[in-house]
Copies of this chain bind each other. A is one copy, B any other.
């Protein structure tokens, strides 16, 4: 019933625990006879080494904690962050780490402390989180990388997208296709990415010689589908009477929410209104009409974060901060 231990194997093989340990790890010498007997026993008794005991002596758990700060569900299944998590899971398995996924809506120390107590080898922090949590973690000297968040602290390994550049690409796409009056739904400006996307967009619009007054900017309190829908519903009269021919939302979910309301008003997309989002969540390609957007490579973010964290854990020298990920315009059915 209970898993056999190294001690049981040793007893049955008539050797010492040390010998069994050496044979299992492949470190140090062992005679062929001892090896055969031990290996046979391991097979027969289905011996599984106890990773807890190993962690105890090696001071390494080979576990990584993923901390995802979100106020509400979905979390792991979030259309954007979920893709990061998936990539983290895959890359971690490849590098022989196990992943603790933890969520927290308090942005408190609680879950960070929990991971510290579990003695994870390192931490991946996803989404925005407060400075004091970063300080707290730094304080314990545990390696971590930050993904798609924002921080001013020097030396923090920090994987982000070139959001400002992406905003510029949206503006160019829309102005080049002849749009002059553009309606904008801007996600929470306290978020680094929403802020930069809007800024890049506006800068570029201005450079194209379009008056600021030709862009109506609506502030979204959250960055959800429901919020996009609501804003469009609320601003429907202004939108219709303003002669807007294009809509840009700083993420896909806001864009699709707004789009759904427009479709319900029988607005034809893209014939009457062009719509552009940001992120390229899976859903963007599925929506009808499919959504033109800026692709942020969430998978790459996840993969890189594990890779970098692994280097930090192994204390490699000169781990290079990755340059920011390059966004890409994906033109689909929602613009023309």
Q: Which A residues lie at the B interface, using CB under 8 A?
A: 1-3, 46, 48-53, 55-56, 61, 63, 73-79, 81-83, 85-86, 89-90, 93, 98-103, 111, 113-119, 139-141, 225, 256-257, 259-260, 263-264, 282-283, 286-288, 290
Interface centre among A2, A79, A89, A286 (most CB of B within 10 A): A286
Integer count of this chain's copies in the complex: 2
Query: Is A86's CB under 8 angstroms from B77's CB?
Result: yes
Report Cα–Cα, A76/B92, bound state, in Å: 14
Report Cα–Cα, A264/B117, bound state, in Å: 54
Query: Is A53's CB under 8 angstroms from B51's CB?
Result: no
Query: Is B89's CB under 8 angstroms from A76's CB?
Result: yes
Q: Contacts of A98 on B, CB cut-off 8 Å?
A: 100, 102, 114-115, 118
* 6 nearest A-B pairs in the assembled complex, by CB-CB distance: A77-B82, A76-B76, A263-B288, A51-B117, A76-B85, A260-B288
Q: Contacts of A115 on B, CB cut-off 8 Å?
A: 98
A61 to chain B, nearest CB (A): 6
A260 and B286 in contact, given A83-B77, A117-B48 (Cβ under 8 angstroms): yes
Report Cα–Cα, A263/B49, bound state, in Å: 56
Q: Contacts of A63 on B, CB cut-off 8 Å?
A: 100, 118
Query: Is B93's CB under 8 angstroms from A85's CB?
Result: no
Residue of B nearest to A228 (CB): B286
Q: Contacts of A101 on B, CB cut-off 8 Å?
A: 76, 85, 89, 99, 101
Query: Is B86's CB under 8 angstroms from A51's CB?
Result: no
Query: Is B288's CB under 8 angstroms from A286's CB?
Result: no
Query: Is B46's CB under 8 angstroms from A139's CB?
Result: yes
Q: Contacts of A78 on B, CB cut-off 8 Å?
A: 77
Query: Is B286's CB under 8 angstroms from A52's CB?
Result: no
Report Cα–Cα, A117/B49, bound state, in Å: 6
Q: Contacts of A74 on B, CB cut-off 8 Å?
A: 82-83, 86, 282
Report Cα–Cα, A101/B77, bound state, in Å: 13
Report Cα–Cα, A73/B82, bound state, in Å: 11
Query: Is A256's CB under 8 angstroms from B77's CB?
Result: no
A52 to chain B, nearest CB (A): 5
A110 to chain B, nearest CB (A): 9
Report Cα–Cα, A78/B89, bound state, in Å: 13
A231 to chain B, nearest CB (A): 15
Residue of B nearest to A136 (CB): B46
Report Cα–Cα, A113/B42, bound state, in Å: 14
Q: Contacts of A2 on B, CB cut-off 8 Å?
A: 141
Interface residue from B1, B50, B99, B140 paired with A141 (Cβ < 8 Å) = B1
Interface centre among A1, A116, A290 (most CB of B within 10 A): A116
